């Protein structure tokens, strides 16, 4: 009986399947790179080029490579743009800290203190505010905190509250509304990080450390830092560039860089100034994020992917 060696016979489709597997990572990388180029790099370069133009809306704008506009914007002149930028960063940082203080206990409670059947309803309550328009939510807070609203009216009834006490138009109103609007962006990443903690680690930690505070500080908090850092990125970037909260809830003393960009573009039609301010804001946020990555690293964010 004759045996036939089939090892040298090519299998149909084997080469094509192997080539597809090798090409798959490059195709996926190309899609991601194209997404970043179209939605990030192209707008960034376009904004930079617009900022270097000179002209006016009637006669049009021409690219003259006017780098002096950044010196003029930073110097400020009659408009203190640097003050607006610093105020926006301060508001964003304060709101971020408040979302951590409020959001971490909420995420901890949902992850460890309730049964499985109640986790989804509680997470839905965290997300339910997004079913209402962003602007409508802010206007509702404006009604509640207005001088004739229920909150201030109730406070004025107390003997130790002065008659001129108000919240609307202050930094507290702006920061408080930012905290409310972005709270879910902090709760959800922290909850995901807490859910990934192996329960056996808590059991072992209780055997080693005993006290709940020691278990939390030595085990739970370090293992959930990926969620905290991700939440910081989401909340801080959103709050630092937001012009709506300060415009509706604030006053003349709460103007931020986002409002200045909006005014320069829509009201004054100074498109080059608006583009320069946007570029400065993006550079400032980029420096902060770069410093964040250098200090804390990016592995913490990758843990949630």
190 confidence band (pLDDT: 50, 70, 90) = very high
305 confidence band (pLDDT: 50, 70, 90) = very low
Residue 38 above 80 pLDDT?
Answer: yes
Residue 104 above 80 pLDDT?
Answer: yes
pLDDT in tens, 219-252: 888 888 888 988 998 999 999 988 999 999 988 8
For position 213, what pLDDT does the model report? 80
How many other CB atoms are found less than 10 A from the CB of residue 22? Answer: 9
Find, among 85, 66, 30, 71, the residue nearest to 288 by Cα: 85
Query: What are the structural domains, with CATH classification, of the chain?
Result: 81-302 (1.10.3720.10)
Quick check: helix, strand or coil at residue 111? Answer: helix
Rounded to an integer, what is the distance from CA 293 to the centroid of its chain? 15
Percent of the residues in the chain that have a pLDDT greater than 70, as a whole number: 90
Question: Tokens representing 245?
Answer: 């909260």
For position 179, what pLDDT does the model report? 94
Question: Tokens representing 297?
Answer: 């690293």
For position 2, what pLDDT does the model report? 54
Mean pLDDT of the chain: 84
Mean pLDDT in residue range 63-80: 86
Which residue shows structure tokens 């709050």? 239
Q: Looking at the DSSP assignment, which residues form a beta bridge with residue 97?
A: none
DSSP character at residue 284: H
Which residue shows structure tokens 């597809």? 20
For position 90, what pLDDT does the model report? 95
**Whole-number Å distance between alpha carbons of 59 and 49:** 18
For position 33, what pLDDT does the model report? 85
**Whole-number Å distance between alpha carbons of 204 and 201:** 5
For position 214, what pLDDT does the model report? 81
Its pTM surpasses 0.95: no
**Whole-number Å distance between alpha carbons of 168 and 249:** 6
């Amino acid at each position: 009986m004759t045996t036939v060696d089939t090892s040298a016979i090519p299998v149909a489709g084997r080469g094509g399947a192997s080539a597809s597997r090798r090409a798959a990572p490059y195709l996926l990388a190309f899609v991601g790179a194209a997404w970043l180029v179209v939605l990030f790099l192209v707008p960034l370069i376009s904004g930079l080029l617009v900022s270097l133009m000179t002209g006016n809306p009637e006669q049009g704008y021409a690219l003259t490579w006017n780098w002096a506009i950044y010196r003029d914007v930073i110097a400020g002149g009659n408009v203190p743009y640097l003050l607006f930028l610093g105020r926006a960063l301060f508001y964003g940082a304060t709101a971020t800290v408040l979302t951590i203080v409020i959001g971490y206990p909420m995420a901890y409670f949902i992850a460890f203190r309730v049964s499985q059947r109640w986790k989804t309803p509680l997470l839905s309550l965290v997300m339910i505010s997004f079913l209402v328009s962003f602007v409508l939510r802010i206007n509702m807070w404006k009604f509640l905190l207005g001088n004739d609203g229920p909150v201030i009216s109730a406070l004025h009834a107390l003997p130790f509250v002065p008659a001129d006490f108000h919240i609307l138009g202050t930094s507290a109103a702006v920061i408080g509304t930012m905290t409310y609007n972005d709270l879910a962006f902090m709760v959800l990443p922290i909850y995901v990080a807490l859910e990934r903690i192996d329960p056996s680690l808590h059991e072992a930690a209780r055997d080693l450390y005993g006290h709940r505070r020691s278990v939390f500080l030595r085990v739970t908090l370090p293992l959930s830092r990926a969620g905290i850092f991700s939440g910081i990125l989401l909340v801080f970037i959103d709050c630092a560039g937001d012009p709506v909260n300060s415009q509706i809830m604030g006053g003349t003393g709460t103007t931020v860089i986002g409002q200045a960009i909006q005014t320069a573009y829509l009201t004054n039609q100074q498109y080059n100034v608006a583009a320069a301010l946007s570029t400065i804001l993006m550079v400032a946020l980029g420096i902060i994020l770069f410093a964040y990555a250098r200090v804390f690293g990016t592995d913490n964010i990758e843990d949630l992917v």
